[in-house]
A = this chain, B = another copy of it.
Amino acid sequence: MNFRDTLSLELNVFADFDPRLPPSYREAPYCFLANIDPVLQRSVLEQFRGPRMVGCDTMNHWIENSRRELESLLPAVDFLVINDEEARLLSGERNIVRAARRILEKGARSVLVKRGEYGVLRFSPDSVFAVPAFPLEEVFDPTGAGDTFAGGFMGALARWGHEDEQAVRRAIVYGTVLASFAVEDFGLGRLRTLTREELDRRYRQFVSLTDVPP
């Protein structure tokens, strides 16, 4: 479940997509550049007045075919959210710790490496954070788990309005927990019925799941 083969990429309406942000959006302090052509990601980013925080996703296709454009974007990125294969491809390093270090050298302020059912590793220049995925008895549909993670992560930070180490860790866990709900049903089904209380309860379960006594 952790590997994706790109057999064919049909951009459809995105083939000549040239997004123009409504004026009110341009003031937003939080900008997430979802996985698309890095030329479009840059064009969207440039329409922001001065976002406080920029997240960015990408995939093997852009790493292979638009590497220069993607790499030129990295110095503007606070959180690069990619999976382990993509981290290896982007860095040319097989070992994931070295892969992340190389990506930080390319300019990204931090890297969140998604490892599917094995959780997330977050690397910044002075810290590493490792979290497992929430263990589930049943995974119905992993489609969108990575996007849900990124949405939950950015949403949590946007709600709190700060990005210190504790907030980033909490946001990563909220992203992980949100993704654990997303895969429990097909499509967006489970997220539609999810309550804040269920989310917070699973967050607390996660704290106990991972608690290492000093």
Chain A facing B: main interface SS: mixed
Is A206's beta carbon under 8 Å from chain B? Answer: yes
Is A88's beta carbon under 8 Å from chain B? Answer: no
Cβ–Cβ contact B135 & A97, under 8 A: yes
- Interface size of A by CB at 8 A reads 32
Is A23's beta carbon under 8 Å from chain B? Answer: no
1/0 per residue A68-81: CB within 8 Å of B? 00000000000000
Cβ–Cβ contact A131 & B129, under 8 A: no
Which A residues are within 8 Å of any B CB, using their own CB?
95-98, 101, 115, 118-119, 121, 128-132, 135-139, 166, 169-170, 173, 204, 206-207, 209-214
Closest residue to A119 on the B side, CB-wise?
B132
Query: Most B CB atoms within 10 A — which of A101, A207, A212?
Result: A212
A213-B132 contact in complex given A95-B139, A115-B118, A139-B95, C-beta closer than 8 Å:
no
A to B CB contacts below 8 Å, 13 in the list: A95-B136, A101-B137, A115-B118, A118-B119, A119-B132, A121-B132, A121-B135, A129-B211, A130-B135, A169-B211, A170-B212, A170-B213, A207-B214
When distances are taken between beta carbons in the complex, the residues of chain B under 8 Å from A96 are 135
When distances are taken between beta carbons in the complex, the residues of chain B under 8 Å from A213 are 166, 169-170
- How many Å lie between the Cα of A170 and that of B118 in the bound state? 21
